Each structure stands twice: as C-alpha cells, then as structure tokens.
Amino acid sequence: MARAGTGLAAADGLCRACVDLLGVDGAAISLVHRGQSRGTFGSSGELSRRLDAYQFTYGEGPCLDAVSLSAPVLAPDLDRSGEYRWPAFTASMAQAGVRAVFALPVTVTASTVGALDLFRHTAGALGVDAFEGALAAARLAALPLLDLIEQLAERAAAGIEEADQRDPWEELASLDRTEIYQATGVLMAQGDLDSAQALVRLRARAYTEGQTASDVAWDVLEGRLRLHLDGTWQDQEEGQ
C-alpha cells in the first residue's frame, strides 16, 4: 500500500495482501451508500470484483449486512442447510465455487462506508490469527479513502483549479455503476416503466441469466438486448 501511487492501487494491494496472508482465495473492498453497493474500491483480481458485483445485482449479501450492522458478518459454510440469509447471492457463489465469505466493516470518521469481503473456495471458519488480520486489514482499507479526502482538502486549500489536474474524487465517482443507471433509462423508454421497475427488470434478467447487473446493462447500452412493452426480452443478434 505504501508503494501505491493512487488510492485504488493501494486498495488493490491490500486485497492481494489479504490473499497472501489470511488463507483466503479472494478479497474485495465494497463501498456502500444508503444500503446499496456503489462500487468495488479495490480487489485482488477480476473474479473477486465480479463476486462483489453480485451484491449490487441482488441487493443482498454479507457486505451490505456488515455495513448496516457495523459488525463483521461471517459465512464460513455457504453450503450448510441453515444458511438462508442471501439466497440469490449464495447461489451465485456456489456457481463460482465459493464456499465461505467473510465481510468486515470499513469505517471512515466514525461512519461505516463499506466492507472488506474475503472469499474462500473451501468451507471453514477463519482462524483466530486470520480473523485478527482481517480486522486489521479492514482498518487499513480506510486509509486509501482518507488519502483521497486529504488530496481534495489540499487542492481546495491551494486553490487548484487547472482543468488538467485530476480530481482525486474521480476515482470514487468512477466506481458508481454509471452503466446500470444509463441502461435503466433506456429500459424506462423501451418498456414504459418507472426507474424502480426498470431496475427490477434489469436485476431480474441478470439473476435468471447468471450475470451481473453490469453485464446486462452493457448488453442494453450496446444494442444487444432489448425489452419489449410486454415485458419480454429480445436478444438483438438472435432477432436479426
């Protein structure tokens, strides 16, 4: 993290360190606002980023619970019969071969703003040392966010306004899944829906196809998928 040049690079480095040190197979840092996953601020790899995206797609998952509770949420065995907290998310984890998920809240200035999610392909609880390490990693996850805040404050104090200066908050703005909200607007027009109905349709399509909401959004925006007024979907390539 110390050698990273940007907040996102530092967050990625922390996630990779979690994989190296904590006996897990993947890690991601989710940002959450008003009960919704807003983006993945760092991950150990593309699979972890995709697994994190399912929590937005289904509106459920351990990261959202960890933020709402401001406490660790541990799922050491997603296969056990009594695990029913996140049915859609758990089904996607099973397809990806993930058997355990651990979410630790990330706090900035007394506010829980996200969670560090740890994924493992085998079931079983984190050991005491690994759990302590995960708590420490969740505390460290706040540092790249604080770094961005400090950069913004320094820019404001210096009166930096040049157009060629990169605003550090662009790193956070880029996480907000813009393609999903753009696709929602398209679906509102195609299906004569309000925004909430359009988002529900998009998420339902993602769930039935085993995709993330972003996957479906890009299909809509790039013209590969269209929603008819009767609620049915058409693959544009098949329809041609």
**Can you give the residue ranges of every domain in the chain?**
7-149, 178-229
Say what the pLDDT of residue 238 is.
56
Tens digit of each residue's pLDDT, the chain (240 residues):
667 666 778 889 999 999 999 999 999 998 887 777 677 888 999 889 888 888 888 889 999 999 999 999 999 999 987 788 999 899 989 989 999 999 999 998 778 888 999 999 999 999 999 999 999 999 999 887 776 666 655 666 666 554 445 554 455 545 556 787 788 888 888 888 888 788 888 888 887 887 888 888 889 988 899 998 888 888 876 554
Cβ-count burial 142-175 (b if 16+ within 10 Å, e if not): bbbbebbeebeeebeeeeeeeeeeeebeebbeeb
Q: Which residue has the tokens 């991950």?
A: 43
Say what the pLDDT of residue 25 is.
97
- Domain 178-229 is in which class? mainly alpha
Q: Is the dihedral of CA 234, 237, 238, 240 positive or negative?
A: positive
CATH topology match: 7-149 vs 178-229: no
Global pTM reads: 0.71
Quote the strand ranges of the chain, DSSP E. 26-33, 36-43, 73-75, 100-108, 111-120, 225-227, 233-235
Superfamily grouping for domain 7-149: GAF domain (3.30.450.40)
